Amino acid sequence: MELTLQGRRAIVTGASKGLGLAIAHELVREGAQVRICARSAEEVDSAVAELGELAGGRAVDVREADQLASFIEWAGEDMGGIDILVNNAGGAHPGTFETLSEDALLADFNIKVLSWFRAVKDALPWLKRSDAPRVINIGSVFAGSPDYRFLSTSVNRAAGLNLTRTLAQELAQYSILVNIVNIGSVRTPQWANIHALRSPEKSAEQFFADQSAAIPLGRFGEPDEVSGIVAFLASDRASYISGASIDVAGGGTI
């Protein structure tokens, strides 16, 4: 399928490794320029070298409004515009209502909701000038299938889902398409934290085998099984899709 992303200009947050890096790779393979950010300058430099000449990046903490705004302005000027914004940066404080602190809940809100809000605000002037503007948020199936053991993620991902839907409604007047991809059990570095929380007594092999047994397809997803959906949503083939919530979870929840 020809996705016609040649010449498009994309930002991917949290893209130095894992799912974000896979998304950046997918967009580059389709011919888009990509600018990435993550907190570690060393990891950003390594990812940019891996992505090649169509890529660039900066070390940015998306929880810091000034850093995020500066990065988006730099990326827009460096590429001569912004057509695609992928909000992928994440992180979580696992815990139940009784164990989770208020500070942890607010920290997760900052990175999972407020950073999306700010990024779209900062990119909006650039997106309005694009011929094919897209915002694609990377969420979680916890948004619709909450788990009390991950209260903060469940609450904040639901907020992100509705932020996406309301943005799709409001920004339609500018022909800006806004969608969300909700991931389930996809192999990312974050699963090491989940393993440590849920079953520290089990080996990684046994933990993943047990988790896979609960997934209808019987296995974890791979990052490139998500990145392809993101590239499709960024393309002209998805020109009438906005406000959509797409689960990539093997038929199940986490």
**148 is known as an active-site residue:** yes
> Among the options 148, 172, 174, 197, which is catalytic?
148
- The pLDDT assigned to 250 comes to 83
Q: What is the CATH number of domain 9-248?
A: 3.40.50.720
Distances, alpha carbon 229 to alpha carbons 23, 117, 178, 226, 248, in Å:
9, 22, 14, 5, 9
Closest CA to 156 of 247, 212, 95, 241: 95
**Which of 32-70 are b and which e, b meaning 16 or more Cβ less than 10 Å from the residue's Cβ?**
bbbbbbbbeeebbeebbeebeebbbbbbbebbeeebbbe
- The pLDDT assigned to 97 comes to 95
* Entry pTM: 0.92
Task: Identify the segments of the chain with pLDDT beneath 50.
Answer: none
**E strand segments, 157-243:** 177-183
- Dump pLDDT digits (tens) for 137-186: 999 988 998 989 889 999 999 999 999 999 999 999 999 999 999 988 78
Query: In DSSP terms, which residues pair with 41 in a beta bridge?
Result: none
- The pLDDT assigned to 254 comes to 56
- The pLDDT assigned to 43 comes to 97
